[in-house]
Amino acid sequence: MVIVTKPGTRNEDILRLRMEIESKGFIIHESRGENFCVLGVVGDTAKCDIRNIMVHEFVEKVLRIQEPYKKANRLFHPEDSIIDVAGVPIGGKKIQVIAGPCSVETRDQIISVAEDVKAAGSLLLRGGAYKPRTSPYSFQGLEEEGLDLLKEARAATGMPIVTEIMSVDKLDRFVEDVDMIQVGARNMQNFDLLKQLGKTNKPILLKRGLSATIEEWVMSAEYIMAGGNNNVILCERGIRTFETYTRNTLDLSAIPAVKKISHLPVVVDPSHAAGLWWMVEPLAKAAIAIGADGLIIEVHNDPENALCDGAQSLKPDRFEKLMKSLKVIAEAVDRTI
């Protein structure tokens, strides 16, 4: 971190600032020009709040050289992380596709969709039991019963299950029953939830917040990792922009950006990004082409009557067609699917 003071700053102010920073264990390299004094701060500046330095009137600017995240940072972990989800690796050469309905609705629905997506080549089953709905009058999910039905679908197909947690008080049940815990876009900055997830060793699928910057998103991964859980998978699911044609705007550039700054795997959710079933295939292809490690796709056996997100859900036969069409893209970028 570099601190530059304003011209004419009194020597005693600079000394006081030096003492304040040195007392926290940092080493300071000072260099003085005719007008400015530059202090180079060496140490774990991730723990240093820039605002506490900017508060001094005589400080002109503070520049961070190192990013505020450490455990998620590729700098300290150059090789790609591969996260094991109940025997299914995410982040390796094979692109993993997580598929299933937005919400678990009935036993027949979840088991039939699970069998269909498995037959098409998906190794991981998704399905919401607790749903974060904009309206309190919309279907809120089957909750506990939804988790039970997911377990039945896992027993029937052997597929590990991925589902969203909304509240810390359900954590024990999720740790017990779920193979990968999803943190939804709306909870990306629920710091208490992130801290508690950091105390587990469950794989966490961390969705990007609706208006979160890439750094805020990676900082949320850092929260989980700081607690000791390194099993984090990032999920780009579209961000809020001025565009209303699609539900969100898929930020494809986030994939190479995150891969550059972090070693964590990245999966893409084209379903929530587009909100339109016919756009899922082209966006999924683009995501694979640009380097995503996986996809999470909503599939429903009866989208017209789905209790949630039918408009963006693929029917099983279209999902099967999509999986076939992704093969050629995966091969072109030296991956398998």
What is the DSSP secondary structure assignment for residue 55, as one 8-state letter? T
Q: Using CB under 6 A, which of the segments 24-32, 70-78, 184-192, 328-336 binds ligand PEP? A: 184-192
| Site for ligand PEP contains 101 (CB under 6 A) | no
| Site for ligand PEP contains 97 (CB under 6 A) | no
Q: How many CA atoms lie within 13 A of 228 on its CB side?
A: 4
39 or 102: CB nearest Mn ion: 102
Separation of alpha carbons 20 and 17, rounded Å: 5
| Site for ligand PEP contains 282 (CB under 6 A) | no
Q: What are phi and psi of 278, to 5 degrees?
A: -75, -10
3-state SS assignment for residue 32:
strand
Q: What share of the chain is helix, strand, coil (3-state, %, to 5)?
A: 40, 20, 40
Q: Using CB under 6 A, which of the segments 18-26, 181-189, 279-287, 321-329 binds ligand PEP? A: 181-189
Separation of alpha carbons 52 and 202, rounded Å: 35
Whether 111 contacts 316, CB under 8 Å: no
Q: Quote the least distance from Cβ 136 to ligand PEP, whole Å.
A: 15
206 or 337: CB nearest ligand PEP: 206
Q: Pattern of binders to ligand PEP over 108-147, x per CB under 6 A?
A: --------------------x---x---------------
Hey, what's the torsion of the CAs at 242, 219, 266, 214, to 10 degrees? 30
Contact of residue 247 among Mn ion, ligand PEP, none (CB under 5-8 Å per partner type):
none
Q: Is 261 left (phi over 0), alpha (psi -120 to 50) or beta?
A: alpha
Q: Quote the least distance from Cβ 247 to Mn ion, whole Å.
A: 10
62 or 306: CB nearest Mn ion: 306
| Site for ligand PEP contains 272 (CB under 6 A) | yes
41 or 250: CB nearest ligand PEP: 250
105 or 309: CB nearest Mn ion: 309
3-state SS assignment for residue 40:
strand
Contact of residue 237 among Mn ion, ligand PEP, none (CB under 5-8 Å per partner type):
ligand PEP
3-state SS assignment for residue 314:
strand
Q: Using CB under 6 A, which of the segments 17-25, 178-186, 239-247, 319-327 binds ligand PEP? A: 178-186
Number of Cβ within 10 Å of residue 57's Cβ equals 8
Q: Using CB under 6 A, which of the segments 46-54, 182-190, 195-203, 221-229 binds ligand PEP? A: 182-190
Q: Quote the least distance from Cβ 233 to ligand PEP, whole Å.
A: 13
| Site for ligand PEP contains 207 (CB under 6 A) | yes
**Residue 187, token pair as written in the block:** 């909870």
Separation of alpha carbons 59 and 290, rounded Å: 42
Whether 157 contacts 121, CB under 8 Å: no
Where along the sequence are the contacts to ligand PEP (CB under 6 A)?
Answer: 102, 128, 132, 184-186, 207, 237, 269, 272
